[in-house]
Amino acid sequence: MLSQMDNDQYVPIWTVANFNQVKKLTKDIKLITEVLRESPNVQVDEEGLKVRPNHKRCIVILREIPENTPIEEIK
CATH at residue 33: 1.10.10.10
Per-residue model confidence (pLDDT) at position 64: 87
At residue 4, the pLDDT reads 85
Q: Which residues of 21-43 are buried (b: 16+ CB within 10 A; e: fewer)?
A: eeeeeeeeeeebbebbeeeeebb
Q: Which amino acid is at 75?
A: K
Give the pLDDT score at 5: 87
pLDDT at 24: 97
pLDDT at residue 15, as a whole number? 94
Spans in the chain with pLDDT lower than 70: 56-58
Q: Which domain holds residue 34?
A: 2-62+70-74
The count of structural domains within the chain is 1
Model pLDDT, residue 67: 87
Phi, psi for residue 12 in degrees, rounded to 5: -60, 145
Strands across the sheet containing 11-12: 11-12, 50-53, 42-44
